[in-house]
Structure formats: C-alpha cells, structure tokens
Amino acid sequence: MSRSKSAEAILAAAEKWKQQCLLDGGSLFSQEPLWNQKNFDLLRIHYVENPDEGSGKFYEKLEQQLAPATPDAKCLWAEMTWALFLIVYRRMLKPKTKHDQIRQTWEWSGSVLPDNHWALGEVLAKGVVNPGQAYNQYRWKECRFFITTMLSWFSLSSGNRESLLTDPWGFAEWLDAQEYCQGRQFRHAFLYLLFPDEFEPIMSQPHKEKIVIAFSKKWDEDLLTNDGNNIALDKALLKIRNRLEVEYPSEEVNFYNSPFKNVWDTSPSLIQLPLSEKTASSSEVKETAPPFISYSIDNILKEGCFLEREKLEIILQRLRDKKNLILQGPPGTGKTWLAKKLAFAVIDKRDEDKIRPVQFHSNLSYEDFVRGWRPSGDGKLDLVDGPFLQMINTAKDDPESEYAIIIEEINRGNPAQIFGEMLTLLESDKRNKDEALELSYRKREG
C-alpha cells in the first residue's frame, strides 16, 4: 500500500472530504450544501463554457468569469481548489499561496473564510507530490476536468456513488471515461487520495510508464495485463509495490528513493519529490514543466504495433507531408491506438496536452466543433469556440510545438456540415494567409 507515514494526515483529510463532499454533498468550510449538481452546473456555465483567452492573470480573469455566479458556486470553487492543492508539495506551491488563493476565491462570495480551520493548516501546507509547473500552467484544464467530472458524479444516485467509492478499479474506469480525463494530472491525484492502497502518489504518466517498463525488464516479466491503458498501468504498479514490499520488508517503498529509483530513473533530477521530506534533497527537485519522453517509430514498434517499420515510415511521412491521415479498417483492429502513437511520433514526444481526441457522430455540427452560439446562463448567448478552434488557438500561442487532433468515427459525421469553410483549409497547401477564409461566426474585437 502507498500509505506513507508522512501522508497520513493528508489521507485522513481526503477521507473527510470524500464523506462530507463527494457522498453527503456538503461543504468543508461551512454548513451549506455546496457539492451538488446545481453548483457545478453554474461553474460549467460561467467557467467551462465561458473561456477567457485574453491576456491577464488567472485569478483576475477567473473573478470576472465567476462574477455572475452565485455565492455558493464561488465557495465551491474555493473548496475545489483545496482538493487540487491538497496533494501538492510545499516546494511546488508555498503554503501561504495555497491559503491565499483559497481565501481569495471564497471571499468573492461575500463570506469570510473560517480562521484556524482544520483543513487549512499543516494538512494543506505539506503535500506529498511535486507534479511540476505544468500542473499550474494547465490549471484551467485541470479545473475543467474537475468541474465536468463532478457534474457527472452528482448525476449518479447516492447508491451508485457509494458503490463506486468502495470499488477502486470500478471508480478508475468511471473516471477514465470522463470527457476531459485524458492527460490530466489530477486524475492520478484523485485516485491516490481516494484509494491510497491501490494507487501511487505519482502524477506523471511518463514516470509511471518508465517504472513499469524498467521493472518488467529487471524481472524479465510482462507486468501489463492488456493494451497498456491507464488502469493496466496502475495495476502493474501495484504488482511491483507488492513484490517490493516482500523483498524489502524493512523499507518504505518509494519509487523516488533509492534503491527503487535507481531501477527506472537515470536522470540527474526529478520533477516529483519523495513522500518523506527528510529524504528529499534540493538537488533532486527541478521545478519546471515535466520532461516529456521523446517518441518515435521505435516506441511504436516496442509497444506492440503489428505493422512493419517500412510501412510505419511511409505512413508517418505521408502524415508529415499532407498534415492529414485517415486510418480505415474493421472495428477493434487498433486504429485509435495507432492514431495516438502516430500523433506522438509527429510531435516527437509523448505529451497528452498536445493531442486532442474528438469523436464524430451524426448530430455533431459546425457550432459544436468549430464555433457557435451557446447560452451563457444569464439569458444571453455567447459565441464559444469548439474543440477545433480551441486547439488551433493553443497551437498559435505555442509556435515552437506541434499539435494534433485525433478524430474518431469520422465516417459517422458529415464532414461538410461539421467543418464548414474549414474543410478546404485542412489541405496542407491551403494552410497559409493567402488562402485564409472568413469564419461563419466572427468574433468582434472589443
């Protein structure tokens, strides 16, 4: 189990949060019923569906986004921030910064955050994981994932919620099926906080993969049970921990401490601290965005692709030249799996944040995929970018990186209806200013 002594208070706090908020729908800091579908729906309306892509600091923009929301919704955001911060180690985020940001959001409601509350003291200050600066840089994505997941959670009956919280792997399957789960670091934190006996306090997917691969080689054993999805990876980590606890009965198994770290990590620094503050040295921490593992055809082949190298090289070159690629074949033949691996190879790194999966269906429209009008919750309509334009704008803001969109079931949608004028611009020789077209729905400046 992953219940380190230094994490005992945090896991006890997580247990209270689970009971008071996830099960009872109550609150951490007040007597009001904050954690419910109504309040999360307000956060969806005012935050998820009302993105502020302009300049400015996160909390300055957030205050404007949440201004029309109810006091309860603002208090809920503060408690949601507490959950996001609970696991984060103090060297990554100072205790005062954690407390100030929670207080700031709570007081937008017009209420005063209770002083000397048990959840705001040392239990919040310490943390157990340093997830790297990407967790802060992409906080808007973590918040979007949290909000939409909780909307889905509170749509379940109380009986179903109780059942899932007694079933670690069933809960993990449910969580991984949520809309914005892919690539989110809070997915790993969420599972550890709720089920520390089954899941590791590791918020880096590449680190999990490296650990499993390294111990599989060390023991000459295939530790993954199926296609290598997230849950299979977590189960493999649990197998490794159980075996190591037998082999090292007098030591606390921590994958960021020697001798365990030496098996899988050969780099001079880590993005994640060990659970024990006493064993952490400043040289082991580098507070930068997580280093993503380089990815190529070699990785695709090692992970079990049935195509020959020469075929993969042709496919990858075609994708680089044409900027588009359609994979076709019977169901269950690995098209989605290969599409994701090819995307990693094109961007030359295993970085989930630079890939956006979308599924087409018969009812999908231009307004859903590109841009369209959506109710804002205050009786008005807002012009909201869909996933296609969101990804385009993200790529524009990061010209040094490559980005990819993976469209599943493209044959189930109507491409002309969904892409509109953008369909022509998909062609590689049309992606320039001379070929630019005006969008059907224009956003007026100012």
Nearest in space to 286 (alpha carbons), one of 306, 305, 268:
268
- Following DSSP, what letter does each residue of 354-394 receive, concatenated? GEEEEE--TT--HHHHTEEEEE-SSS-EEEEE-HHHHHHHH
In whole angstroms, give the CA distance from residue 41 to residue 63: 17
The runs of H, that is alpha helices, within 154-229 are: 158-164, 168-176, 185-194, 205-219
| pLDDT tens for each residue of 355-399 | 889 999 988 999 999 998 888 766 778 888 889 988 888 888 777
Burial class from Cβ neighbours inside 10 Å (0-12, 13-18, 19+) for residue 9 reads middle
* 182 has pLDDT over 60: yes
- Cα 69 to Cα 65, 111, 331, 375, distances in angstroms: 8, 14, 44, 14
Q: Work out the number of other CB atoms within 10 angstroms of the CB of residue 46.
A: 23
Kindly report the average pLDDT of the chain as a whole number.
Answer: 86
Domain boundaries, the chain: 5-194, 205-284, 297-435
215: confidence class by pLDDT, cuts 50, 70, 90:
very high
282: confidence class by pLDDT, cuts 50, 70, 90:
very low
pLDDT confidence of residue 6 = 77
422: confidence class by pLDDT, cuts 50, 70, 90:
confident
Burial class from Cβ neighbours inside 10 Å (0-12, 13-18, 19+) for residue 411 reads exposed
272: confidence class by pLDDT, cuts 50, 70, 90:
very low
- Mean pLDDT, residues 121-149 taken together: 89
Calculate what percentage of the chain has a pLDDT beyond 70: 91
